[in-house]
Amino acid sequence: MGVGASGHDDASTAAAKKIASSALQGAVTKAQSEQAMIMAFKSFDADGNGTISKKEFAAVLQKLNMKMTSRQIDMLFGTVDTDEDGYIQFEELCCWLCGTPCFNRYFEELGAILREYAEKIKPVGKGDARIQNAESANQWLAKELERRVRPTVKEVFHQADRDSNGILTEEEGVLLFSNYARMLAKHADTIIEISKRTWLEKGHWDKKSFKKLVPDLHRIVSTQISEYETHIDSRHREAFNVIDKNKDGHLILEEVVQCLTPGTYRYREFHKALQLYSPEGFKAFRQQVS
């Protein structure tokens, strides 16, 4: 019986979680995580030639008692070997072990909702009519975030839970934050495009002025990410403390759901701790460049 796409994804996730859980245990700073990944790569690279062959990859899976067929190993190796050169490079192993692919779906869904919302808040009538339209749109937004974003956050949580014990340790949490920040920078493009229509309709700029504004907005995002990388460890600690509502040293699903669901208090506090913009608060950028 063949392995379907879903089964392959499950096997890949299970293998990545098992290896990452072991390799990254206790790594809560950027330097510790980097060193842990170097050691993990060396444990794969048996002949020390700087790459991981399929044979070396299979040997590690066997040591971890990952019972996989030759075909499953081939498929998994292909997943990690993104440049398809027949060997796994250090960067490829890092991306596989430390990534949170579910964030792609999270940001895609969030972007889709915000685009639909932008259509709903287009000026309709005047006075009470406009207010009622805005209230209706905001109610719709809250319901859609609950219905469509929260389920993807749950997927993100389970993927970040490397040892599958139902909680996120600090080392699991910092990986989650790093992946979120990286994706958030890309999401800025979506927010800028979505905001364009609203800003133009409200008369803040004409199209020519807005076109000149966009590089400034990207510069602000780039600066924020650069500063985040410089102070990444302290910001991760602060973010972890913000999300860890009951202060028990780990994160549960509901705590993470709240911090990644737009519109909640903890969502805003989470971004404040990372000192990165929140998508719902992107209008603050407009004030910086007005």
pLDDT value of residue 1: 37
Choose one of 70, 98, 126: the last residue of a domain: 98
With a cut of 70, which residues of the chain have pLDDT below it? Answer: 1-11, 123-133, 195-210, 279-290
Q: Are both 214 and 73 inside the same structural domain?
A: no
Same domain, 90 and 163: no
Number of domains forming the structure of the chain: 2
pLDDT number for residue 2: 41
Residues 225, 199 share a domain:
yes
Give the pLDDT confidence score for residue 202 in this predicted structure: 54
Domain assignment of residue 41, given as a range: 5-98
Task: Note the pLDDT of residue 3.
Answer: 44
Same domain, 156 and 180: yes
Per DSSP, helices labelled H in 102-260 are 102-120, 128-144, 150-160, 170-201, 207-230, 232-243, 253-259
267 in the same domain as 140: yes
Of 98, 131, 154, the domain-final residue:
98
pLDDT score for 101? 84
24 lies in the same domain as 148:
no
Dist CA 203 CA 290 (whole Å)? 12
Taking the complete model, does pTM exceed 0.85, yes or no?
Answer: no
Q: State residue 66's pLDDT score.
A: 80
Is 189 in the same domain as 272? yes
* Contact criterion met (CB below 8 Å) for 41 and 183: no
What's the pLDDT score for residue 91? 93
Q: How far is CA 209 from the centre of its chain?
A: 32
Report the pLDDT value the prediction gives residue 201, as an integer from 0 to 100.
Answer: 56
Q: Tens of pLDDT along 218-256?
A: 788 888 899 999 999 999 999 999 999 889 999 999 999
Q: How far is CA 75 from CA 101, 158, 178, 223, 236, in A?
A: 17, 22, 27, 39, 34
pLDDT of residue 54: 95
Q: At what angle do helices 90-98 and 30-44 cross, to 10 degrees?
A: 120
The pLDDT score that the predictor gives to residue 252 is: 96
Distance CA 102, CA 104 (A): 5
CATH number of the domain that residue 53 is part of: 1.10.238.10
DSSP code for 52 = B
Domain's final residue, options 54, 69, 98:
98
CB environment 186-207: b (16+ within 10 A), e (fewer): ebbebbbebbbebbeeeeebee
Same domain, 215 and 266: yes
What is the model's pLDDT at position 210? Answer: 63
Q: If you count them, how many residues does the chain have?
A: 290
Segment 117-129, tens digit of pLDDT: 888 877 665 656 5
Are both 45 and 147 inside the same structural domain? no
Do 217 and 243 sit in the same domain of this protein?
yes
Give yes or no: residues 48 and 120 share one domain. no
Residue pair 179/99 in contact (Cβ under 8 Å)? The answer is yes
Q: What is the pLDDT of residue 144?
A: 94
Same domain for 137 and 71, yes or no, is no
Cβ(44)–Cβ(36) below 8 Å:
no
